[in-house]
Every structure is written in C-alpha cells, then in structure tokens.
Amino acid sequence: DIQMTQSPSTLSASVGDRVTITCRASQSISSWLAWYQQKPGKAPKLLIYKASSLESGVPSRFSGSGSGTEFTLTISSLQPDDFATYYCQQYNSIGTFGQGTKVEIK
Amino acid sequence: EVQLVESGGGLVQPGGSLRLSCAASGFTFSSYAMSWVRQAPGKGLEWVSAISGSGGSTYYADSVKGRFTISRDNSKNTLYLQMNSLRAEDTAVYYCAKASVVAATPAYFDYWGQGTLVTVSS
C-alpha cells in the first residue's frame, strides 16, 4: 500500500504569509495527487488535482507542484478564510490520504 | 448543481449492522465512480470503499474488507454501504464522494456529501 506523509502536522501563520505544505509518497505516484481543504464540521473541498491543476472556482493564491514522490501545496498570501486543515491524497492506487496539516492563526 | 445527501447513520452496538445511503443529483450518476470516506472524531480522512460507474468493480480498505459491502443502484441514483460486524473503531462521520471519472481508479473526489455519523457503542 502507498503511504502518504504530510509535514508539518500544524503550521502557525499570519494573514499575508506565504505557506507551504509538503506531502511525500512512499513510492512514485506520477502526478496522481490531489489536495483538499477541510473546515471544522464541514466536508472536504477539492483544491488541486493532478498535482498542479487548480479546481474551478478555487482562488489562484493556491498552487500545487511536484511529481513522483514529493509534492507541495503553496498558499501565496494567506487569507482569513484559509485557516483550515489540508489533506493530500494519492490516487495512483485508489486513494490514500495524508494525515493532514492544520493551518492555524499565529 | 451536484448534490450528495447521506443518510442511515446512527448509534449501533458492537457486532451490529447498518446501511448507509447516498442520494445523488445534478450529474449523470452512472458515468462516475463513487467512494465512501470516513473520519473518526478528531482524526484524519480514511478512504473506505469505491465502486465503478457500472458497479462492476469494487474496492475496499483492508480495515473493512469482509465486513462492508459497497453497492449502487443507477436507476435510483443512490450509493450504499452495508456495514456488518461493526466495531468501536468504525465510529466516524461517513462521507460519500463523487469520483472524477467512471473508473474507480485513478480518480480524485470532486464533490462530497455533508456526512452521516455512525457511532458504535454499547
């Protein structure tokens, strides 16, 4: 089974900061990676698919990069609405999620 | 507008059974694979099961294999999850999720339901 490891687990940041979250796969998944945002009590929301494709309606401050085993999600200028938990998901082989990264207010 | 509405959650004793449903609308249901993803209280997301658009292919996480059965009725635009031999560790919010393509893999999830809570406790 493919394992996904996200870092950091928690990230403290301020509005306007550039934020980067890393996701590593235990084996190559090509570009079959998605990123989701989840707020408390809500369902996850798709942000990025195929490692770097922005889902329709998602603000352009979100971007994704990487291939193979190492991937990043970047928020170029953190906004108040972005404080949430972020999950990566590989879908090379069904769908394993990372453990999540909570972005909290500094 | 795509809508996914789960139902069937509740409190069940260990060893018991429950069937979850997910009513879909706003898209051609049979043209997309579907999945169940769960989230234990305070924990991360765990993929549980997936089914192809036709229903001909099904997949399960090792943690539920042999106990859970995924199915779909394309005439009713409804996804199901039959859960048997439930354990305390199955306690979670269960989400149904629409896949991006008709095959169950490789596919990401572009729409999610609001979730239904399953609590396994005596």
- Over its C-alpha atoms, chain B yields an Rg (Å, rounded) of 13
Mean local confidence (pLDDT), B71-79: 98
pLDDT given at position B96: 98
Q: Between chains, do A94 and B113 touch, taking CB under 8 Å as contact?
A: no
Residue B104 in this model has a pLDDT that exceeds 80: no
Residue of B6, B45, B52 best to disrupt the A interface, most CBs of A under 10 A: B45
Hey, which bits of B15-114 come out as E strands?
18-25, 34-39, 45-51, 58-60, 68-73, 78-83, 92-99, 109-112
pLDDT band for B105, please (50, 70, 90 cuts).
confident
Residues of A in contact with B107 (CB under 8 A): 91, 95
Instruction: Report pLDDT digits (tens) over B15-41.
Output: 999 999 999 999 999 999 999 999 999
Mean local confidence (pLDDT), B77-87: 98
Residues of A in contact with B47 (CB under 8 A): 89, 94-97
Cα–Cα nearest to A89, from B32, B54, B112, B5: B112
